Chain A
Amino acid sequence: MADEITLTVNGAPISVRPGTTVAAAMVMAGLICRKSTIGEPRGPLCGMGICFECRAVVNGKAHCRSCQILCEPGMDVRTDD
């Protein structure tokens, strides 16, 4: 679809509809957002910016709440580990 946004998640390009959050994009790509202190895989829990489980590295910035950030063309997203 022409109006899709393409970004890279852990180096791989993915396309999403406009208005998609980074957290939603990561879940759809089957990726985890972060690793916990003991190394467990984690993904979003609350979906509304409270739990901080969806922290990811967005454009080089660590610990971003990915459920509160919209995907943008060319964005570079990485698992926070």
Chain B
Amino acid sequence: MTSSNQAFNVLVIGGGPAGMAAAARAAESGAQVGIVNDNLALGGQIWRGGEHDEHVAEAIPWRERLQRAGVSMLCGMRVFHQPQAGVLLAEGNEEVSELRYQRLILATGARERFLPFPGWTLPNVMGAGGLQAMVKSGLLVRGKRVVVAGSGPLLMAVAAYLREQGAEIPLVCEQASWGRLAAFAATLSGFPAKIRQALTLRKKLPEVRFAANSWPVAALGDGKLESVTISRGGRLETVACDYLACGFHLVPNVELPLLLGCAMDGEFVQVDDFQRTTMPGVFCAGEPTGIGGVESALVEGQISGLAACGKEPEARELFGQRRKARRFARLLEKTFRLRPELRSLPQLETLVCRCEDVTYTRLRQHTSWRSAKLHTRCGMGPCQGRVCGPAVQFLLNWKPESVRPPVFPVRVESLAGIAETG
């Protein structure tokens, strides 16, 4: 195992739209900037994949700006510890890097929320964004039947993408009610870019059945998914499929902000007008401050990058744009809020923690995360509660525990490094 040491004026964690915009603005302001990205390529989840994709095309000017401004790109690296203020440790495939910074911008993005239901651990049941990411990573779905389910604007985008890739989509199930969706559609007129997106998606999906008030109640199959039973407006319907792409909107990745001591505002990181967190010199932008999508991420990223370089007047010029983006975020939250019926999705023997194979019935013998963790190891496997944590919070209303290093499972050699650096 090798180790390296690098220092930056501004260090950005996360290579999605928020992180790219933050890094570009900071580097263009003259700062020496590094961007750390867990995935192999920049772009985050939304800009993953080939550049012929119309959504991914949006990423090209940002990539060019990063290159022109000389931003150091550290891809395939995961931050796992802060040994002291101003220093982070990150692990790559072959090495541990010590990254020093004066200003830090956290742009850690979001992940899908998964809810446990019978059969959700069967192979070929994946997240909605999860399956899309897999297809963008080479999985061929031509001629495969894919049921898309869960909640959020991502579902239609995923269905459209999978159709383009030759998949057959027998059904798209959204848990939100028609009433909420209609109210959402009516308010979209205030957001021209969003309207265009919605229209293009509808054009691509004229023949796909879309059902509101619907959600999967069981995935069925012998060793591998074969069909899914859907509750559709109160009636059960079983649909044969090769894949189930199921995610219930998004939850923010706030493990690193929590580790660094940033105060929270509900489930999101608390920031001021300049995207400053409560920790000195630490900024946060994009989904961790509120699920608002790519527009919100880009504007918050830019504000944080400018503010991190002392360019408050330029940052201020973007406040109007951000207000609009945040209105959209609130609208998303209201439209796709989970309905209480989903709390009865898991059956007694349904696994909730996939890492440690903990059933719902075992969890319910406890009254807090702490107790459940100590007695069942729920949330203590490799994902460290990233999958079961948000589910348990929704199902049992347990508040998450404090975050301790390492925030990602690391190799023993990397942990030895923690001991050395203190």
Of chain A, the residue at the smallest CB distance from B130 is A47
Judge whether A43 and B138 touch: CB under 8 Å: no
Judge whether A32 and B111 touch: CB under 8 Å: no
Q: Give A17 to B381 CA distance when docked, in angstroms.
A: 33
The interface stretch among B3-11, B120-128, B182-190, B414-422 is B120-128
Q: Give A49 to B76 CA distance when docked, in angstroms.
A: 10
Judge whether B39 and A24 touch: CB under 8 Å: no
Interface size class of B (residues with CB under 8 A): 35 or more
Judge whether A51 and B383 touch: CB under 8 Å: yes
Judge whether A24 and B138 touch: CB under 8 Å: yes
Q: Give A19 to B7 CA distance when docked, in angstroms.
A: 32
The interface stretch among B51-59, B99-107, B353-361 is B353-361
Interface flag for B286 (CB, 8 Å): no
Judge whether A43 and B123 touch: CB under 8 Å: yes
User: Which chain A residues border B124 with CB–CB below 8 Å?
Assistant: 27, 43
Interface flag for B14 (CB, 8 Å): no
Chain A's nearest CB lies how many Å from the CB of B1?
13
Interface size class of A (residues with CB under 8 A): 35 or more
Judge whether B40 and A47 touch: CB under 8 Å: no
Judge whether B137 and A38 touch: CB under 8 Å: no
User: Which chain A residues border B382 with CB–CB below 8 Å?
Assistant: 52, 55, 63
Q: Which of B377-395 contact A (CB under 8 A)?
A: 381-383, 386-387
Interface flag for B204 (CB, 8 Å): no
Interface flag for B129 (CB, 8 Å): yes
User: Which chain B residues border A52 with CB–CB below 8 Å?
Assistant: 355, 381-383, 409
Judge whether A45 and B140 touch: CB under 8 Å: no
Chain A's nearest CB lies how many Å from the CB of B271?
23
Judge whether A47 and B138 touch: CB under 8 Å: no
Judge whether A36 and B121 touch: CB under 8 Å: yes
Judge whether B112 and A46 touch: CB under 8 Å: yes
Judge whether B121 and A20 touch: CB under 8 Å: no
Judge whether B224 and A42 touch: CB under 8 Å: no
Chain A window 46-81, contacts with chain B (Cβ cutoff 8 Å), 1 for yes, 0 for no: 111111110100000001000110110000000000
Q: Give A36 to B38 CA distance when docked, in angstroms.
A: 25
Q: Give A53 to B126 CA distance when docked, in angstroms.
A: 10
Q: Which of A16, A45, A71 meets B126, CB within 8 Å?
A: A45
Interface flag for B131 (CB, 8 Å): yes
Judge whether A47 and B134 touch: CB under 8 Å: yes
Q: Which of B139, B140, B383 meets A50, CB within 8 Å?
A: B383
Chain A's nearest CB lies how many Å from the CB of B6?
22
Of chain B, the residue at the smallest CB distance from A47 is B133
Chain A window 27-40, contacts with chain B (Cβ cutoff 8 Å), 1 for yes, 0 for no: 11010100011101
Of chain B, the residue at the smallest CB distance from A70 is B40
Chain A's nearest CB lies how many Å from the CB of B152?
15
Judge whether B137 and A19 touch: CB under 8 Å: yes
Interface residue ranges, A against B (CB under 8 Å): 16-17, 19-21, 23-25, 27-28, 30, 32, 36-38, 40-53, 55, 63, 67-68, 70-71
Sample 26 A-B pairs with CB under 8 A, ordered by A number. A21-B134, A23-B134, A23-B137, A23-B139, A24-B137, A24-B138, A27-B139, A30-B224, A36-B354, A42-B121, A43-B124, A45-B114, A45-B125, A45-B127, A46-B112, A46-B126, A47-B127, A48-B45, A48-B133, A49-B39, A63-B382, A67-B133, A68-B39, A68-B40, A70-B40, A71-B138
Q: A46-B127, A46-B387 are in contact. List 15 more A-B contacts (CB 8 A).
A: A20-B137, A20-B138, A20-B139, A40-B121, A42-B354, A43-B124, A45-B126, A47-B129, A47-B134, A50-B386, A51-B354, A52-B381, A52-B382, A67-B134, A68-B76
